[in-house]
């Protein structure tokens, strides 16, 4: 079902599709169990995303910014220069 068009679409559930879904579910479960999420993609989908402010794909995509943020992560506020 597509919410924007309010139309249903039939999908043939083939053995290949079933395996793909099972593999994807297993990968997502492993990711959630590990507690480590992949970095955001920072692509065209991000422009209109309602979660952009929470995700901050631009900040994550910039490795130099990540390094700077990590270096001050556990410093008290008065020790940061």
Q: Give the burial string for 41-53 (b: 16+ CB within 10 Å, else e).
A: ebeeebeeeeeee
Q: Which residue has the tokens 């901050």?
A: 56
Q: What is the spatial distance between Cα 64 and Cα 12, in angstroms, rounded to a whole number?
A: 46
The beta-carbon contacts of 26-30 under 8 Å, at least 24 apart in sequence, are none
Whether 47 and 58 have beta carbons less than 8 Å apart is answered as no
Q: State pLDDT tens for residues 13-57.
A: 999 999 999 999 999 999 999 998 787 778 888 888 888 888 877
Predicted model pTM: 0.50
Token pair of 75, please?
Answer: 């410093």
């Amino acid at each position: 079902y597509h919410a924007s068009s309010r139309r249903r679409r039939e999908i043939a559930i083939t053995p290949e599709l079933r395996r793909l879904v099972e593999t994807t579910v297993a990968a997502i479960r492993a990711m959630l169990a590990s507690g480590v999420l992949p970095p955001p993609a920072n692509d065209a989908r991000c422009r209109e995303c309602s979660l952009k402010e929470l995700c901050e794909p631009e900040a994550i995509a910039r490795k130099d910014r990540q390094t700077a943020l990590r270096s001050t992560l556990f410093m008290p506020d008065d020790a940061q220069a």
